Amino acid sequence: MIEIFNIFLMAMLVITALAMVSSRHLFITVMLSGIFSLLVAAIFLFLDAADVALTEAAVGAGISTVLFLGALALMDVEETARGERWVRVSSLVVVAVTTIALVYATFDQPLFGDPNAPINLHVAPWYIENVPVHMGIPNIVTGILGSYRGYDTLGEVFVVYTAGIGVLSLLGDPVKNRMNRPVQNHGLRHYLIPRVVGRMLIPFIILFGLYVQFHGEYSPGGGFQAGALIAAAIILFAILEGENRALNVIPMRVLYLMMASGALLYGGVGVATLFMGGNFLEYTVLGSTMVSGQQWGILLIEAGVGLTVTGVLITIFHAFAARSNL
């Protein structure tokens, strides 16, 4: 019965994707990508991936639309050239052939939802069985993310950090760019209703972000989602009051500090466990028992993840906003 909704949503997803690629106006593409993200989040929830759906919600609803609009404010929104005819025809042929090959290949895939599919037999049962034993936390996803696959997450955090540095080095320091601009931007300060309501909601968004951060062991959530939510709150403030005020509230040096200290905290936990006699990121040595050590470790590295993600996302926003006038 539930599959019917999923089929509906997936058909809508395909239509949205087609419209996104075929539309000539980039603003329309960005708006449709908002719909795309909403549909993907609902589908993830139907497929039992609550944590992933929350991440998609936090990133897709606020931040990615704002980023794309910030970039579009610097360019022409109309797509002028369509490209030569042979390019379009030949790429259509390539795409059609590959689609047929991929669809043919799906018949070798295990059936949808098969509990005996190879993917579900190898390590997953061990994880599901051992997360409560080793860590004593109910959310298996957080357990795997923080502990069993801690190296993986460490790498991802450094990728996010590097992307933030890359954006900064490409677009320049937001504060300097802002000073060179002819017109200072005051945001939506003259729009009373959005301003009042938006300001009222910002504390709630931050509060919810902190809840997601620290309750992530018990319900869907964790550092990545919380970072995106808190960054969305700050970005909302910057949209409402202008970036200058947002930069007064959280200056760039604090953001740099957040970016770096989050990644450092994560790495530092690993080094600390080395010095305390364990392996890199072996949290067991942090506490008196295995469970308490693991819980301390997960709490610390989730805090690191949250700090880095918040810092990077707000920095990226400021970097774009200082270039454009958004």
Partner 1 sequence: MIFYIVAFALVITMCLALVRAVRGPGLYDRVLAVNMMGTKTVLLLAVIAYIMGRPDYIDLALAYALINFIGVFAVLEFFRTRESQLALTSSTTQSGQEKALDEQGGQS
Partner 2 sequence: MDAWSNVVEIISIVFMAIGAFFIFVGGVGALRMPDFYTRMHAASLTDSAGPIFILIGLILHTDSFLVAIKLFTVLVFILITGPTASNALASAALLAGNKPSLAVKQTTAE
Partner 3 sequence: MAWVDYFHYWVFAILLMIGFFGVIAKRNLVKKLVGLSIFQSAVFLLYITMGKVEGGTAPIYGITDNTVFSNPLPQVLILTAIVVGISTTALGLSIVVRIKEAYGSIEEDVIHEKDRVE
The binding site for partner 1 (CB under 8 A) comprises: 1-2, 5, 8-9, 12, 15-16, 19, 25, 27-28, 31-32, 34-35, 38-39, 41-42, 45-46, 50, 53-54, 57-58, 61-62, 65-66, 69-70, 72-73, 76, 80-81, 183, 185, 187-188, 191, 194, 198, 201, 204-205, 208, 212, 219-221, 225, 229, 232-233, 235-236, 239-240, 324-326
Which of the choices partner 2, partner 1, partner 3, none does residue 200 contact, using the CB cut-off of 5 to 8 A by kind?
partner 2
DSSP string, 84-106: -HHHHHHHHHHHHHHHHHHHHHH
Site string for partner 3, 103-142 (x = CB under 8 A): x--xx-xxxxxxx-x-xx--xx--xx---x-----xxxx-
Residue 112 has which token pair? 């949808």
Which of the choices partner 1, partner 2, partner 3, none does residue 3 contact, using the CB cut-off of 5 to 8 A by kind?
partner 3
Q: How far apart are CA 144 and CA 165, in angstroms?
A: 28
Name which of residues 22 to 81 contact partner 2 (CB under 8 A).
Answer: none
DSSP string, 173-240: -HHHHHHT-SS---TTTT-HHHHHHHHHHHHHHHHHHHHHHHSTTTSS--HHHHHHHHHHHHHHHHHH
Which of the choices partner 3, partner 2, partner 1, none does residue 79 contact, using the CB cut-off of 5 to 8 A by kind?
partner 3
- In the complex with partner 2, which residue's Cβ is closer, 172 or 194? 194
Q: Residues 22, 3, 54, 326: what is their CA dihedral angle, to the nearest 10 degrees?
A: 20
Site string for partner 2, 189-208 (x = CB under 8 A): --x-xx--xx-xx--x----
Is there a contact between 136 and 291 (Cβ–Cβ < 8 Å)? yes
- CA 183, 184, 185, 189 torsion: positive or negative? negative
- In the complex with partner 2, which residue's Cβ is closer, 175 or 210? 210
Is there a contact between 249 and 240 (Cβ–Cβ < 8 Å)? no
- In the complex with partner 3, which residue's Cβ is closer, 110 or 251? 110
- CA 305, 306, 307, 309 torsion: positive or negative? positive
User: 3-class SS at 122?
Assistant: coil
Residue ranges that bind partner 2, judged by CB under 8 A: 191, 193-194, 197-198, 200-201, 204
